[in-house]
Every structure is written in structure tokens, then in C-alpha cells.
Amino acid sequence: MDGFRKTVDTNETVLKVRDLTVNFASEAGTVHAVRGINFDLKKGKILGIVGESGSGKSVTSMAIMGLLDKNAAVEGTIEFDGENLLEKSDAQMSKLRGKRIAMIFQDPLSALTPVYTIGDQIREALVTHNPDMTNEQVHKRSIELLEMVGIPNAEQRLQSFPHHFSGGMRQRVVIAMAIANDPDVIIADEPTTALDVTIQAQILDVLRKAQKETGAALIFITHDLGVVASIADDIIVMYAGRPVEQAHVDDIFYRPVMPYTMGLLGAVPRPDQAKSSRLVPIPGSPTNLVNLPKGCSFAERCPIATDICRETEPDLLDLAGRTDQRVACHRSDEIIAQNLTFREVYGVEESVPSIFEGIAREDRQMVLSAENITKTFTVNGGGFFRRNIGKVYAVNDVTIHIREGETIALVGESGSGKSTTLLQIMNLQAPETGKIELFGEDVAGKLSRKERQLLHEKVQYVFQDPMSSLDPRLPIYDILAEPLKVIGMNREQINKRIAELMELVGLKPDQVDRFPNQFSGGQRQRIAIARALAVNPRLILLDEPVSALDVSIQAGVLNLLEDLQNNLGVAYLFVAHNLSVVRHLASRVAVMYLGHIVESGEISEVFDNPMHPYTKALLSAVPVPDPQYERGRERIILDGDLPSPTEEIKGCAFVSRCPLYKQLSPEQQKKCETVRPVSEKRNTDHTVACHWATMA
Amino acid sequence: MVKYLAKRVANYCVMLFVAISLTYFLASAFMDPRSNYMTRNPRPPMASINRALDNANINDQTPILIRYWRWLTGIVTRWDWGKAPDQSSVSDAIVSRMGASLQLVTLATILSIVIGVSIGVYTAIRQYKWQDRVLNSIATFLYVIPAAVLAVGVVFFAIEINTVAGERLFFVTGLHAYQGDNFGEWFVDFLQHLILPTISMTLGGTVGYHLTQRTYLLDEMNADYVRTARAKGLTLNKAIRRHALRNSLIPTAQSVAFSIAGVFTGATITESVFAINGLGRYFVTTISQNDINGTVAIAAFSGVCTLVGALLADIFAAWLDPRIRLN
């Protein structure tokens, strides 16, 4: 355990994977999860493996760990330290796991055993491989590890249980356990996917540090191109169980050759640039791993596929004239010769002009006006009477105005009150304080049943997860017909409307007799949108509408939302944690923190000139799919987590984490602590709630 | 902790009082002890029927509230749970049967839990291997056999053995036959009586714990934190034993605690087959004989058992799972 920093020779290969294939037996047939992957992992380097769900990236990592299910048939070789890991028994692998090869998983909330203390779990990681360690040594090393991953009060924290920790803190503990024995290889499988963007930035920092300190090679698996741009040295892009492109990070991002790589990059909106053009969705949906097509598995979605692509599967070959770039594509030579980029390959469509184009915002009708609304939840004590012992302000004094044909995004970390705000509006009931007006009509007023139903028709909701928001036992026809029946349409009108709707969201009208599980995630979200549109609403509330979808599918749904708005003039109020998506879709944005709106305004105004320290930190935490930009970028990393909402805060809610606050004089700080900042107009279309916004 | 328990017990006492009182009113409304006498042939004179009913405080001609008050004062002042229509004391009947039930049920319950949970763990670790398949098939087979058939089967088998051995190794009725003072002989005799009902009850109980424990552990075995433990370098068995098992015992511990009440009054079938005078049979008898006081006393007893079970379940869960705090 002496001397943590190792001298790192980056040319030494620690892990060599050759012709790795993994097949699973399933009821539908053999699932070809991984179909031949080769790579060398160099000491001290970070290899990113990128792909959508089902591309085989996680299966590859589990194969290296030897932790695949028993029904997995693994072939090929995984050479580590001169030995083939695939030939080792489980007992032999157990000696390597956690000592030489360590792993970090996706969901930190479930990765730690709930019934043992953090200290016990770190101790186990140490003692399993070093049975001779004394209690004192274990204790010392545990504290050292926790401090390294940035957990304050390490000594006391050893006694805590996982449920005392937030998601970000738990992921730090998982990282501490992974680096406990100074491993040679660390595999991180989507380590930040379940975390908020501010916490993601913290964890990426910890990972980089941990990797540097141990000198280990890191395999970083993700679907997020922004994250991988900021961390990886080399990248493997996987599709349908095969690597389709393998290169240095810059080549992948600036000179991609495989049309799939281009498509992935083109499908991701940039958070740091104003929307310049439409996103390019990759047509079709991910390939079925049971019945693979004969030729290139991407051929059916590839716009430039030719006959040979459908006949034989291309091998991953070195590219002439490029160093260390390998591509599996029959048409790679042409792509390089003609210097094709995703614009030429996929063809960029023009977006439809909005029906409100040229009409100033002030002249459009107000769709929703929510003034100073508040929503509290009471906290109950235990015992027989469940006494009310406190209040949580989920939404606190929030004001939102939405006009026709525009999109307002609510952004913020989880727990900031975004979804509660949506639900509060959806309720169409009088809020606890303030006032909600829809189309000039106060929802608290006395409305007849009929009037209230009409209001309901005008506001519709699309949920995050299309898997669970559609009744699996209803065919699409019935799902779409339900809202139409409520408004009293007859059969003929319903049939006509359903055909229209299917067409509108880009689905074939003859598929209405199918059930939701016969559609892919993206198609299901389209159905959910069609259902929301059925009754011609004027306002649609979208709760994370694309976050459950794969990147290539996401772009299509975003384009659809954009077109619908431009053609129909419907307004959106949408909640998203992905700021790139927000920048692309929204025309206005409101940043929420602990139930307050801290900054709001026109989208590029807020994104380009953020004034509130929280907005600044939030934006700086968003990874950008541009490796050079990422390298030169200075991040504001917020300390800690969102404070508990039960805490009573007198002044500004952001004080505990504010970077600006720390630079203020004591008198100025006093103001932050005692006086709650009110939203003030700082610019023509930009409101900020911060006492010292001008200073930052 | 102590404060919490005291509060909890106080709550339970209130609940019990309400539940028992309601049972008393219900039983008084539905049961008709007078009919026990009216159907006798020759019918006793009305005055003596009324006297007998009054003596047991179950005369439907006395207003219900007065009967309730007398019954309640009897319990509170003298711990007297009243009389059956045949004038025998309910308290005495329950105390004597409680002993028999306790002897019968304790061992079977402990064995069921230990064996059932062990087999559940054993099969979960070997999911879909032959051991799992064989044990599961046996469990399913035993599960579908009614308790009475199972008990009779055990009796039949024991008699066969007795015949083959030419000696009475197993007794198939009662719990005791030995009348002397020698403890050794008394104990052997007790075991000879106890073994058959215990086997037939254990078989049934084991199967339940086996199947549920297997499911609980399988759920936990696929949990993310078991995978984390594996990634740390623990072998599969160690990871399961250290991480999955404890979590999977939480629901089992709770179901054990809650089953206490059922264990006493639910052994009716075994008691009938082996001719043991336990609480289960008594419960059925009280209902069929319009014994209002007996029924209410049994209901009170199972109520106490259930609430003790609930309390134990909470304590167990808090002990196993640090996320639960008892306050």
C-alpha cells in the first residue's frame, strides 16, 4: 500500500481483447450480444466505448469481469497479465476482481448493500484481497480513500449507511472501493448516467483523479457523446454487437467515417451553440440481435447503403491515410475520398416555418399564466396521530408565462420542483397561493363541468417513459380513440382523426391495431404524443419526453415536436435535465433551484449570458460533444448536493453551494443569508433572482 | 426504543380492547346458546334453561349491554373469561389446551423455519440445477396435498413401521400415555407421541418457507449490490451469504412473526387427526356449540398473538435493516 502514484508507461498494454463474442440463449433464439470485438488497452489511458442500448458495450465489460450470467457463451480471448481470463475459474477470477480489475456501475443508489455501513463495505474490498491488514491499517486506508474521492468528514462517514448518502456521494464510495487495491484496469459502466449534470461533473472529476492516482487504464462505457468527449483518449463505437469505428477521440469527433458514427454525432444537439439547423435522426430503429441481417447490420438504417452492404458484413479495417483509425464500412474509401460529412450522408432537411413567424411575442395570445404559485407538502411525524411536523416547499413563488407557439423549458437538478410545477398546472385547481390562468380563464374560478372539460382538452401531458405511460393491453386504436370519445366524436370522425394523427406523428395509419409492445421506444413516444394531440390541445406539458430514448431515436422525436409546433402553433411547457435538448427545442427557459425560479428569459440570452451563479455552474457542467472545446474548458464545479428541502432557508436558497457567495464581503454575505432575492429584470428579456448578479 | 415500544404496546391495548368488544357483540348477536337447550329431548323446563343461561351470562333475554358489563368486570377483576353453555369455565379450558398446543406447535414451527429457510437458500443458490428442480417438485407436490391427507399418510406410514417392527414405536393419538413418575420414560413416551404430528406439520410449514425464501433470495441475488460485491472480488457463495442473505431474511422474519397467531389456532386438522386437545379444535368446538364466551376468548388470544407477532416483526426488521428506525 505504499506509494500511491505509479510511474506510468503508456505504451504498455494491460488488457488485450481478441475476437470476443458473447451469445445468450433466450426464448426468442440466440441473442448475438457481442460479435467480435478487438482492442488493446494501454496503461494510463482512457478508452471510451460508445453505443446505444443493445450495442453490446455493457456485455463486453461484464465479459472482461467474468460476471456474465451462466447462460452466456463467451468465446475469444481476453488477455490480462499474459493469461487468458476466459479460461480462469470463478475462484481464480475472484482473486483478480477488485484487486487488479475493478468496476464502477451505473446506478449508485442500488450498488451499495443497504444493511452495511460504508466503512464495512470498504473494509470488505480491502480485506478480501489483503487478509493480513490490521484493523488500524484498514481504518487508515479507508479514510484515505474517502478523502481521495472527496467525501468530507471521512472518519465519521465510515459509520454511515448508504441511505444517509446522496446518489453522487454513493458513487464516490463505489469509486473508492474500486480503487481501494490500486487496480490496473478500472471499468466504468455508465457511471454518471443516473446522476444530475452538476453531480456528473463532480464524479467525472473524481474519476479522472482516481485514474491518475492509480495509473490504471480506464474503460469508460457510455451512450453520451458529450461525456466521452471530455474524458476519453480513444473511442470504440459499437453497433449491434460489433465495433464499427475505432479511433482517437479527435478523429471520431472531427473526422468520422462510418455513417453510424456521423449519425450519432449529428443527432446530438449542442448546448453551447444556438440552434442552427434541424437535427439529423438516424432512420429506423436499432437492429434486432436475434435475427441479424445478412450484410452490414447498419445497412437498413444507412442512407448510403449499396447492394454489397446488404450482402456481406464489412470487417473492421485500418483506414489508409489515417493513423490508428479503423472502420467497418464498405464505402469508407468513397467517404474519405469525397470528404463526406453527415450533412451529405444524411441530408439536412429545412424546418417548417412556424405559423407565428413574424408575429412578435407580445402580440401572441397568452396560453398560460401562472403567477406566484406555491405547492407545499406536509411532513408527518410518526405515531398514531401522524402529527404535521413541517412543510416542504416543492414549488415556491413560481411565475411562468407561456404564449402561443412557444416552448418554455424548466431546467434544474432533480428535486428542484420542475415536475411538481407541471403537475400543479395539469391539476387545473387553485394553487395554494397565486393564480393560474389558462387562455385568460382563472382555473380557481367557478367553472361548470363542461367548461372545465374544455379546459382539460386544451392542456395535455406527455410522460417520460413511453413504456409505462401506454396501457400495454390496449391496441393503439383504442389508446387514441379514448380521448376522442370523451369529447363526443362519433365512430366515423374518430377513424378519420386517428388516421390523421398517425400520419401527423410519422407512423403508418394501418398499424393502429397493434399493441404498444410491438413498437420501439421512439415509436411509442410518438404514439404518446399523438394521444396528447388527439383533442387539439393548445398547450402540451412534456415531462422529460426524450430522456428514456436512445440518442439516434431522440433526434426524430425532437424534430417531430418542433414540426408539430410550427404547423399547429401548440405551446410546450417542458421539463428536461438534458440542457442540450433544452437549447435545441426551447425558445425560453426558466432555471429552477429548490422550488424557486432563479433565472429565466429568452433561451440564447440565458444560455450565452447566464447571470445567476447557479445557472453558470449548471451550464458549465454540461459536457459538450467536442473534445478540443472540452480540453480548454474551465468548469465551475459546485460543492455538495442540493440541500434537504425540509431545511428552512431564510435567505437565498443557493447560499450553501454558491461560488459567488464565497467571494463576497461579510456584509454582502449577510444579505444573501437573510434576504431572499426577488426576480429582477436585468435585461430586456432576462430575469435573475440574485442580489449580486451584476458582480459575477 | 423503550419509549417506542411502550407507545406501541399502549396502542395495541386500545386496539385489542376495541376488537375484543366488537367480537363479543358480534358473537352475542349471531350465536344462540338457548338453542342448545331447546333442541334437547325432552326439553328442560324454561326456568331451568334461563337459570343455566343466566349462570353463564349468555341469556339473550338480558340486555346485551348488561351482559357485556358483567363479562367485562369478570375479566378485569377476576380474570374470568366466563362460562360455556355447559357451565364449564372458559379460562380453565383454554389454559389446559394451551399447554397441549404449545407442546405440539413449538417444535414443528421451529423446524419448519430452520429447514424451510435452509432449503430455500440451498435451492436459490442452485437455481435450475437438478437439486433445485427435485426439491421444488417435492415442495410443489407437498404443497397441493391437503393437510389432513398428509397427516393421515404419515399415520399410515407409521403404523406400517410399527407393524414391521412388531412393536409400538409411534403413537398415533394424544400426546401422553405414560402415567408414572420417571422423567426419562415420560420424555420418551412424549417423543413417541409428538413425532408424527410434528412431522406432518413440519412438512406443510417447511414447504411454505422453502418456496418463499427461495423467491426472496433470488430477488436479492440479482440485486446490483451483489454484483458490486462480486466486482470487489467475493466469490458467488460469499457474496450471496454476506450481502443477499441478510436482506432476503427481512421479509421471512416478518412473515414468521405474523404467523404466530395462525400457528396456535390453525393446527386444527393435525389436532383432529392425532386426537390432541389443542386450541385449534377448541376454537371449532366453541363455534359449533354456540359458546359465546369461548369464541371471544379465543379471538382475544389470537389477537394478542397477532399483535405480539407484529411487534416482533417490527423489531426483527429494525434489527436486520438499519434503514428502519424504531421511533
Per residue in B121-130, pLDDT (tens digit) is: 999 988 889 9
Q: Does A69 touch chain B (CB under 8 A)?
A: no
Is a pLDDT exceeding 80 seen at residue A285?
Answer: no
Higher pLDDT, A24 or A550: A24
When divided into structural domains, chain B yields a total of: 2
Per residue in A163-188, pLDDT (tens digit) is: 888 888 899 999 999 999 999 999 99
Higher pLDDT, A285 or A325: A325
DSSP, collapsed to helix, strand or coil, labels residue A140 as helix
Residue position matching grid coordinates 472502420:
A327
What is the rounded CA–CA span in Å between residue A34 and residue A53?
Answer: 13
List of E strands, chain B? none
Q: How far is B51 from chain A (nearest CA, A)?
A: 45
Q: Does B320 touch chain A (CB under 8 A)?
A: yes
B184 in a domain, yes or no?
yes
Chain A residues whose CB is inside 8 A of the B316 CB are: none
- Domain closes at, from B19, B52, B78: B78
Nearest alpha carbon to residue A78 among A61, A91, A94, A95: A61
Nearest alpha carbon to residue A412 among A681, A660, A657: A657
| Domain identity same for B47 and B112 | no
Q: Does A188 touch chain B (CB under 8 A)?
A: no
The residue type at A97? R
Is a pLDDT exceeding 70 seen at residue A381?
Answer: no
* Percent of chain A's residues with pLDDT above 90: 42
Yes or no: say if A263 and A280 are a contact pair by the CB < 8 Å rule.
Answer: yes
| Domain identity same for B132 and B46 | no
The DSSP line for B88-117 is -BHHHHHHHHHHHHHHHHHHHHHHHHHHHH
Dig out the grid coordinates for B153 from the structure.
Answer: 399418510
Contacts of A321 (CB under 8 A, 6+ apart): A336
Q: Which of A102, A105, A125 sits opposite B224 (nearest CB)?
A: A105
What is the rounded CA–CA span in Å between residue B157 and residue B150?
Answer: 11
Q: Does B241 touch chain A (CB under 8 A)?
A: no
Yes or no: say if B303 and B314 are a contact pair by the CB < 8 Å rule.
Answer: no
Query: What is the end-to-end Cα distance of chain A in Å, rounded?
Result: 44
Chain A residues whose CB is inside 8 A of the B325 CB are: none
Yes or no: say if A611 and A447 are a contact pair by the CB < 8 Å rule.
Answer: no
A532-558 in b/e burial notation, b at 16+ Cβ within 10 A? bbbbebbbbbbbbbbebbbbbbbbbbb
Q: What is the CATH number of the domain that holds B203?
A: 1.10.3720.10
Q: Between the CA of residue A294 and those of A56, A307, A330, B197, what are the distances in Å?
A: 19, 11, 14, 66
Using CA coordinates, name the residue in chain B closest to A179. Answer: B232
What is the rounded CA–CA span in Å between residue A87 and residue A620?
Answer: 46
Mutate which of A115, A159, A384 to test chain B, going by most B C-beta atoms within 10 A? A115
The DSSP line for A198-225 is HHHHHHHHHHHHHHHHHT-EEEEEES-H
Nearest alpha carbon to residue A371 among A674, A611, A679, A685: A679
Determine whether the interchain pair B234/A94 forms a contact, defined as Cβ–Cβ distance below 8 Å. yes
| Domain identity same for B42 and B117 | no
Determine whether the interchain pair B224/A110 forms a contact, defined as Cβ–Cβ distance below 8 Å. yes
Using CA coordinates, name the residue in chain B closest to A183. Answer: B232
| Domain identity same for B25 and B98 | no
Round the average pLDDT of chain A to a whole number and report it: 88
Residue A229 burial by Cβ neighbours in a 10 Å radius (0-12, 13-18, 19+):
buried
The residue type at A240? A
Handedness of CA A403, A405, A411, A415 (dihedral sign): positive
Dig out the grid coordinates for B282 from the structure.
Answer: 377448541
Q: Between the CA of residue B138 and those of A254, A435, A599, B126, B201, what are the distances in Å?
A: 64, 66, 66, 16, 16
What is the rounded CA–CA span in Å between residue A590 and residue A209?
Answer: 34
Q: Which fold has domain A13-239?
A: Rossmann fold (3.40.50)
Phi, psi (rounded to 5 degrees) for A272 = -95, 0
Nearest alpha carbon to residue A620 among A150, A204, A190: A204
pLDDT band at A150 (very low <50, low <70, confident <90, very high): confident
Q: Kindly report the pTM of this predicted structure.
A: 0.83
Determine whether the interchain pair A94/B224 forms a contact, defined as Cβ–Cβ distance below 8 Å. no
- Domain closes at, from B47, B78, B109: B78
Q: Does B228 touch chain A (CB under 8 A)?
A: yes
| Domain identity same for B150 and B189 | yes
Contacts of A322 (CB under 8 A, 6+ apart): A247, A251, A255, A336
Q: Which of B223, B229, B246 sits opposite A110 (nearest CB)?
A: B223
Nearest alpha carbon to residue A98 among A173, A165, A187, A170: A187
Using CA coordinates, name the residue in chain A closest to B250. Answer: A115
Per residue in A296-313, pLDDT (tens digit) is: 989 988 888 889 999 999
Dig out the grid coordinates for A688 from the structure.
Answer: 435573475
Residues of chain B where predicted confidence (pLDDT) is lower than 50:
none
Q: How far is B169 from chain A (nearest CA, A)?
A: 48
Residue A231's H or E segment, with its range, is helix A225-231
Residue B87 burial by Cβ neighbours in a 10 Å radius (0-12, 13-18, 19+):
exposed
List B residues 244-303 in contact with A (Cβ-Cβ < 8 A). 246-247
Mutate which of A90, A124, A164, A172 to test chain B, going by most B C-beta atoms within 10 A? A124
| Domain identity same for B142 and B11 | no
Chain B residues whose CB is inside 8 A of the A115 CB are: 246-247, 320-323
Chain A residues whose CB is inside 8 A of the B229 CB are: 113, 124
Chain B residues whose CB is inside 8 A of the A124 CB are: 229, 232, 234, 242
Nearest alpha carbon to residue A524 among A556, A562, A572, A563: A556
Per residue in A57-69, pLDDT (tens digit) is: 999 999 999 999 8
Mutate which of B221, B228, B323 to test chain A, going by most A C-beta atoms within 10 A? B228
The pairing of beta strand A441-442 with beta strand A326-327: unpaired
List B residues 34-93 in contact with A (Cβ-Cβ < 8 A). none
Chain A residues whose CB is inside 8 A of the B11 CB are: 384
Contacts of B303 (CB under 8 A, 6+ apart): B16, B19, B20, B261
Determine whether the interchain pair B235/A91 forms a contact, defined as Cβ–Cβ distance below 8 Å. yes
Per residue in A234-271, pLDDT (tens digit) is: 999 999 999 999 999 999 999 999 999 998 888 888 88
Quote the pLDDT of residue B232.
Answer: 93
Higher pLDDT, A275 or A127: A127
Quote the pLDDT of residue B41.
Answer: 83
Determine whether the interchain pair A111/B320 forms a contact, defined as Cβ–Cβ distance below 8 Å. no
| Domain identity same for B120 and B240 | yes
DSSP, collapsed to helix, strand or coil, labels residue B23 as helix
Mutate which of A59, A97, A113 to test chain B, going by most B C-beta atoms within 10 A? A113
Phi, psi (rounded to 5 degrees) for B237 = -60, -45
| Domain identity same for B134 and B267 | yes
Q: Which of B7, B230, B242 sits opposite A97 (nearest CB)?
A: B230
Mutate which of A94, A159, A163 to test chain B, going by most B C-beta atoms within 10 A? A94
| Domain identity same for B121 and B16 | no
List of E strands, A165-299? 185-189, 217-222, 234-239, 242-248
List of E strands, A309-362? 317-318, 326-327
Using CA coordinates, name the residue in chain A closest to B12. Answer: A384
| Domain identity same for B263 and B149 | yes
CB under 8 A, 24+ apart: contacts of B23-27: B23/B295, B23/B296, B23/B299, B23/B300, B24/B68, B24/B71, B24/B292, B24/B296, B25/B64, B25/B68, B27/B292, B27/B295, B27/B296, B27/B299
- Domain closes at, from B15, B44, B78: B78
Contacts of B27 (CB under 8 A, 6+ apart): B292, B295, B296, B299
Q: Which of A67, A90, A178 sits opposite B227 (nearest CB)?
A: A67
What is the rounded CA–CA span in Å between residue A503 and residue A510?
Answer: 10
Nearest alpha carbon to residue A598 among A674, A682, A684, A541: A682
Per residue in A425-482, pLDDT (tens digit) is: 888 888 888 889 988 888 888 778 888 888 888 899 998 888 888 888 999 999 999 9
DSSP, collapsed to helix, strand or coil, labels residue A585 as helix
Instruction: Considering chain A, tell me which residue range(s) the CATH 3.40.50.300 domain(s) occupy.
Output: 13-239
Chain B residues whose CB is inside 8 A of the A129 CB are: 233
pLDDT band at A1 (very low <50, low <70, confident <90, very high): very low
Chain A residues whose CB is inside 8 A of the B228 CB are: 105, 111-113, 174, 177
Q: Does B223 touch chain A (CB under 8 A)?
A: yes
List A residues 118-147 in contact with B (Cβ-Cβ < 8 A). 124-125, 128-129
DSSP code at position A445: S
| Domain identity same for B58 and B191 | no
Dig out the grid coordinates for A233 from the structure.
Answer: 483518449
Using CA coordinates, name the residue in chain B closest to A71. Answer: B128
pLDDT band at A9 (very low <50, low <70, confident <90, very high): low
List of E strands, A383-491? 388-403, 407-411, 433-438, 441-442, 459-462
| Domain identity same for B209 and B99 | yes
pLDDT band at A122 (very low <50, low <70, confident <90, very high): very high
Using CA coordinates, name the residue in chain A closest to B323. Answer: A163
What is the rounded CA–CA span in Å between residue A176 and residue A138?
Answer: 13
Using CA coordinates, name the residue in chain B closest to A112. Answer: B225
B66 lies in which domain range? 2-78
Is a pLDDT exceeding 60 seen at residue A8?
Answer: no
Q: Does A443 touch chain B (CB under 8 A)?
A: no
Per residue in A661-671, pLDDT (tens digit) is: 988 999 999 99
